[in-house]
Chain A
Amino acid sequence: MTSTAQELHPAPTLEPGRTILELKGLEKRYPGTHALKPVDLAFKASEIHAIVGENGAGKSTLIKLLTGVMPRTSGDVIWEGKPAALATPHEAMALGINAVHQEVVLCRHLTVAANMFLGEEDSRFGILQQRAMVREAQKIIDDLGFDLPAHVVLGDLTIGQQQLIAAARATVRGTKFLIFDEPTAYLTRKEADQLFTLIRRLKGEGVTIIYISHRMEEVFELADRVSVLRDGTLVGTRNIAETNDAELVKMMINRSIEQVYHKEHFTPGATLLEARNLSGKGFENVSMTVRAGEIVGLYGLIGAGRSEFVTTLYGRHRKSAGQILWEGKQVQVNSEHDAIRLGMALAPESRRDQGLCLNLPVGLNLNLPIYKRISSNLLISSAQEKAEADRQIANLRIKTPTRNALASSLSGGNQQKIVIGKWLAHGAKLFIFDEPTVGVDVGTKAEIYRLFSELLSKGAGIILISSYLPEVYELADTLHVFRRGKLVATHGFHTADHEEILTQALAEKQEKPGGQI
């Protein structure tokens, strides 16, 4: 990990290092909880200030207070020397405070240009100047170095590209203070690089950046300073040059980094699943086996065909060629139902879209795959339903007041535990985890990895998909690299280094992997 943080370049009008925003005893209480304990923190003009912490540490609360989405309970916010109420999002924006969120909050059905100028449309006599806006938007996008068209409908772009547009949009509104909330969660490496270029450039123009991320290497790549939150308390602020990730992780979770990647090796047992020359939409000619007791890692960029491959194994999509063998016998998997009956379980990529019924109780979500088992004929045994839900909640230490709380009320990490937990009671043999730790804090990550070992020890096999190389690298017994729908390389545990794997995933030599992943 190297710090590529640049020296501060004096911007023409703003004096870098001057305090632009100061928090004095900023505090937020909800009924029954103390989400943010009094925080004193000063942000300097044109610095990149990273904020790290586990889910529920108070990062989201802090953002909501700064962007005027929620009122604070007490404390003062001093903006450029003057107290600011920050009572409404409008006020925050008028001051020049903007945020780019992890999930793109733009209109998917409008064009890129229309989104860029949403709310500030250029019109003459009430008629929209559409061509002028497209031209102007294209100029901004080109200027930022993004290779994207301004006239297309936003929804036609990938999530990563949409994220870049969201960032570009935030830059055109007289922004002085820009908050990025985990912007790279869904970006490819190339897109992330473009975003970083944009962020550094904004900094050069005197904009203060708050950068929130779970990915330590990004923090070290970008930030000048980093603040750590834990349980609503500001644990400390460090200059990036004077700290390291071991220290930060320790500050965040009170636990050392070696304890996070928990890897036990088991002797692989019988082959559970074999794919022979399997092809489908988004991937072709992929062969691999998964044995009991091993983790098979699938690494590659988003869109490389990994998710498509596993969803086809799982019967969500039809294969176009090849064979699937389950415990040595050729099988037809025509639906999710078939896959589940064989003994597969899928924890899908997107918790919100594919994993959870958010406005339903935690208990119902956990029991969804097993209602058949806990029903006698038509009726559900409510005693069993309660017992199963409570067992998983206790087993996985899901933080929820009761099984009747809605899934949406839980933090991201606890939601992920539900997505995984619903398969534990069901008792599958092959677990497919697609990006299980996106947006999940370090503590929960460690718990999830521990759970992997537990599953392996009981004779299960695991397919682990991740865009985060350290994760698959440290955990997978066999690591397959995907690129553009093809399986391009296979490695054993630690038989290749990061650089080699990354090069295989990217292939094009002009892509500079650099020291960071």
Chain B
Amino acid sequence: MSTEAIAAERPKRNYNALFGLTLLALLVLLWVILSVATPSFASANNISNLLRQGSMIAILAVGQTFVIITGGIDLSVGAVVGFATVIVAMLINAGVPIFLAILITLLVGVAIGLFHGFGIVKMGLPPFIITLATLTSLRGIGLLMTNGNSISINNDAFQLFSRSSFLGVPNLFWMVILVGIPAYIFLHHSRWGRYLFSVGSNAEASRLSGVNVQRTIYMAYTLSGLCAAFVGVLLASRIGIGNPTQAEGWELQAIASSVIGGTSLFGAVGSVHGPLLGAFILATINNGANLLNVNAFWQRIITGVLIIVIVYFDGLRRRGK
């Protein structure tokens, strides 16, 4: 009898795939509607623009998702992006080779992530607090370093990268694929990915099963910091300046993308494709609203409503099964 009782339950995998397809359908639907509603939407120029806009949030959202799966949150990613633009701009202007400048910037992101891990694991601070503290301090440190000014990057090759395309697809979007595929393999096909889920579900049970919980938490925040620093490099390349106040509020967009993509803020539920789709859904809404001359203030409201609607329906279906 009890066998039948649980047979009624839908296996998790299928459900995830189904949800991913629903999101994809929503994205395609948005594109179709916007193509009909405004002729400029489907232009090659606009699509490239859209992909560029969505790419950076998408990468942030992937890193954020790793953290949220462990049951944590990383509020610092927007600030890390801004801080990273300053670091990479200063290094390049100081004549450091581009490759090395990028590497150092990424290491700074790793260091910030390790610090978050330290605060959570060793000092026992809640993730919300430690990353909130970093958010505000990093902006401050960046402002101190730049005296509140923007740093213009005087290196055309560096800036050319984000404006170029490869095979007709913007380089920035290729970066999403560059991050997304290893992230997917890591999350779904490596034991570290399994540990992220298990720690998010029950840290004590994981510990007693031999999972190194502390290392897993360090890893999640480090990856999030790394993704954020990488996005900082991309942003610096795109706008050609280093400015610590850039990327204001991007942490919230990253969290929103992740949540729209099916990640549970309670931990242990999430994927890589979900946040990516979530980020591009948000980018499409903003892009479409611009083209339709919808007041920019409305875009924020629409985003808020969308978060509520999608998460509500997702919750309904999870409960309903």
Task: Note all chain B residues with C-beta closer than 8 A to A404.
Answer: 11-13
Decide yes or no whether A330 CB sits under 8 A from chain B.
Answer: no
Q: Mark A27-55, 1 if CB is under 8 A from B, else 0.
A: 00011111100000000000000000001
Which residue from chain B places its CB closest to the CB of A230 in the assembled complex? B1
Contact between A360 and B201, CB atoms less than 8 A apart = yes
B150 interface residue, CB < 8 Å from A?
A: no
Contacting residue for B205 out of A31, A354, A380, A402, CB 8 A: A354
Question: What sequence of 0s and 1s flags, for each residue 372-391 of chain A, a beta carbon within 8 Å of any chain B beta carbon?
Answer: 10010011101000000000
Nearest CB to that of A354 among chain B residues? B204
Inter-chain CB contacts under 8 Å: number: 123
Taking CB atoms, residues of chain A closer than 8 Å to B207 are 316, 336
When C-beta atoms are compared, the residue in chain B nearest to A406 turns out to be: B12
Set of chain A residues within 8 Å of B186, measured between Cβ atoms: 378
Write the nearest CB–CB distance from B63 to chain A, whole angstroms. Answer: 18
Known: A346-B208, A368-B209. A399 touches B6 (CB 8 A): yes
Does B300 make an interface contact (CB < 8 A)?
A: no
- Of residues 388 through 425 on chain A, the ones whose CB sits less than 8 Å from some CB of chain B are 399-402, 404-406, 409-411, 414, 422
Q: Are A337 and B198 in contact (CB under 8 A)?
A: no
Segment 1-34 of B: residues with Cβ below 8 Å from A: 1-9, 11-13
Q: Which of A316, A369, A402 contacts B11 (CB 8 A)?
A: A402
Number of chain A residues whose Cβ lies closer than 8 Å to a Cβ of chain B: 49
Knowing A337-B212, A411-B2 touch, does A375 contact B269 (C-beta < 8 A)? no
Closest residue on chain A to residue B213 by CB atoms: A336
Asked if B9 contacts A409 (CB within 8 A), the reply is: yes
Interchain CB contact (< 8 A) of B209 among A30, A379, A409, A422: A422
A206 at the interface (CB under 8 A from B): no
Verify if B202 is at the interface (C-beta below 8 Å from A).
Answer: yes
Q: Which residue of A lies closest to B198 (CB)?
A: A357
Mark contacts of A344-370 with chain B using CB atoms, 8 A cut-off: 1 yes-contact digit, 0 otherwise. Answer: 001010000111111111001001110
Most chain A C-beta atoms within 10 Å of own C-beta, residue among B6, B192, B198, B202: B6
Decide yes or no whether A371 CB sits under 8 A from chain B. Answer: yes
A104-117 CB mask vs B (1 if < 8 Å, else 0) is 00000000000000
* Beta-carbon nearest neighbor of A356 in chain B: B205
CB-nearest residue of chain A to B8:
A32
Find out whether the CB atom of B12 lies under 8 angstroms from the CB atom of A361.
yes
Nearest-CB residue, chain B, relative to A407: B201
B280 within 8 A of A: no
B3 and A399 contact, CB distance less than 8 A: yes
Residues on B with beta carbons closer than 8 Å to the beta carbon of A422:
209
Instruction: Answer yes or no: A231 CB below 8 A from chain B CBs.
Output: yes
Contact partners of B2 in chain A: CB under 8 A: 33, 55-56, 399, 411, 414
Would you call A461 an interface residue if the criterion is a C-beta within 8 Å of the partner chain's C-beta atoms? no
Report A-chain residues with C-beta under 8 Å of the C-beta of B13: 404
A33 and B205: CB pair below 8 A? no
- Shortest Cβ gap from B10 to chain A (Å): 9
Q: Does A340 contact B (CB under 8 A)?
A: yes
Whole-angstrom distance between the Cβ of A253 and the nearest chain B Cβ: 14
Q: Is the CB of B9 within 8 A of A401?
A: yes
Q: Which residues of A contact B250 (CB under 8 A)?
A: none
Q: Cα distance A316–B210 when bound, in Å?
A: 11
B194 touches A371 (CB 8 A): yes
Q: A360-B198, A368-B198 are in contact. Are A348 and B208 (CB under 8 A)?
A: yes
Known: A357-B197, A360-B268. A379 touches B8 (CB 8 A): no
Q: Is the CB of B5 within 8 A of A400?
A: no
Closest to A340 in B: B210
Task: State whether the Cβ of B206 lies closer than 8 Å to any Cβ in chain A.
Answer: yes
Interface residues of B in 196-244 (CB under 8 A from A): 197-198, 201-202, 204-212
Contact with A along B169-201 (1 / 0, CB 8 A): 000000000000000011001111011011001
Given A364-B198, A379-B185, answer yes or no on A337-B210 (Cβ-Cβ < 8 Å). Answer: yes
Query: A428 to nearest B CB, angstroms?
Result: 10
Chain A hits for B212, CB < 8 A: 337
A360→B4 CA distance, assembly (Å): 20
Q: Residue A232 at the B interface, CB < 8 A?
A: yes
- Give the chain B neighbours of A30 by CB distance below 8 A: 5, 8
Q: How far is the CA of A30 from the CA of B198 in the complex (A)?
A: 30
* Nearest CB in chain B to that of A414: its residue: B2
Q: Which residues of A contact B11 (CB under 8 A)?
A: 361, 401-402, 404-405
Whole-angstrom CA separation of A56 from B191 in the bound complex: 33
Contact indicator B269/A355 (Cβ below 8 Å): no
Q: Which of B6, B208, B268, B269 is close to A336, meaning CB atoms less than 8 Å apart?
A: B208
Complex contact B208–A357 (CB within 8 A):
no
A346 and B202 CA atoms in complex are apart in Å by: 16
- Interfacial chain B residues near A360, Cβ < 8 Å: 197-198, 201, 268
Which of chain A's residues has its CB closest to B268's CB?
A359
Contacts of B201 in A (CB 8 A): 357-360
Query: Does A380 lie within 8 Å of B189, measured CB to CB?
Result: yes
Which residues from B are CB-within-8-Å of A382?
A: 189
Q: B residues within 8 A CB of A336?
A: 207-210
* Assembled-state Cα–Cα distance A400/B12 (Å): 13
Interchain CB contact under 8 A, A353 and B204 = yes
CB of B5 within 8 A of CB of A35, answer yes
A375 contacts B7, C-beta separation under 8 Å: no
A232 touching B1 by the CB < 8 A rule? yes
How far is it, in angstroms, between the C-alpha of A355 and the C-alpha of B192 when the chains are bound?
19
User: Which single residue of chain A is at the shortest CB-CB distance from B197?
Assistant: A360
Measured between beta carbons, the chain A residues less than 8 angstroms from B194 are 364, 367-368, 371, 380
How many angstroms from the CA of A348 to the CA of B204 in the assembled complex?
A: 10
A369 partner residues in chain B, CB cutoff 8 A: 209-210
Known: A337-B210, A337-B212, A380-B189. A357 touches B268 (CB 8 A): yes
Residues of A within 8 A of B195 (CB): 371
> Are B6 and A400 in touch, CB under 8 angstroms?
yes
- For the complex, what is the distance from the CA of A380 to the CA of B197, rounded to whole Å? 15
- Whether the pair B185, A33 counts as a contact (CB closer than 8 A) is no
Q: Whole-angstrom distance between the alpha carbons of A414 and B212 in the complex?
A: 26
Partner of A368 from the list B3, B9, B206, B268 (CB cut-off 8 Å) is B206
Can you name the residue of chain A whose Cβ is closest to the Cβ of B190? A378
A372 near B8 with CB under 8 A, answer no
Q: How far is the CA of A358 from the CA of B205 in the complex (A)?
A: 10
Q: Is the CB of A368 within 8 A of B211?
A: yes
Q: Bits for B72-111, please: 1 = Cβ < 8 Å to A, else 0.
A: 0000000000000000000000000000000000000000
Q: Kindly provide the distance from the CB of A451 to the nearest chain B CB, expressed in whole angstroms.
A: 18
Given A355-B208, A372-B191, list of 18 further CB < 8 A pairs? A31-B8, A33-B4, A33-B7, A35-B1, A55-B2, A336-B207, A337-B210, A358-B202, A360-B201, A368-B205, A371-B191, A375-B190, A375-B191, A382-B189, A399-B2, A401-B9, A405-B11, A414-B2
Q: What residues of chain A have their CB less than 8 Å away from a CB belonging to chain B? A: 30-35, 55-56, 231-232, 314, 316, 336-337, 340, 346, 348, 353-361, 364, 367-369, 371-372, 375, 378-380, 382, 399-402, 404-406, 409-411, 414, 422
Q: List 9 A-B contacts (CB under 8 A).
A: A30-B5, A33-B7, A353-B202, A360-B197, A361-B12, A368-B209, A378-B186, A380-B191, A404-B11
Q: Which 5 A-B pairs have the closest CB atoms?
A: A357-B201, A371-B191, A404-B11, A56-B2, A33-B4
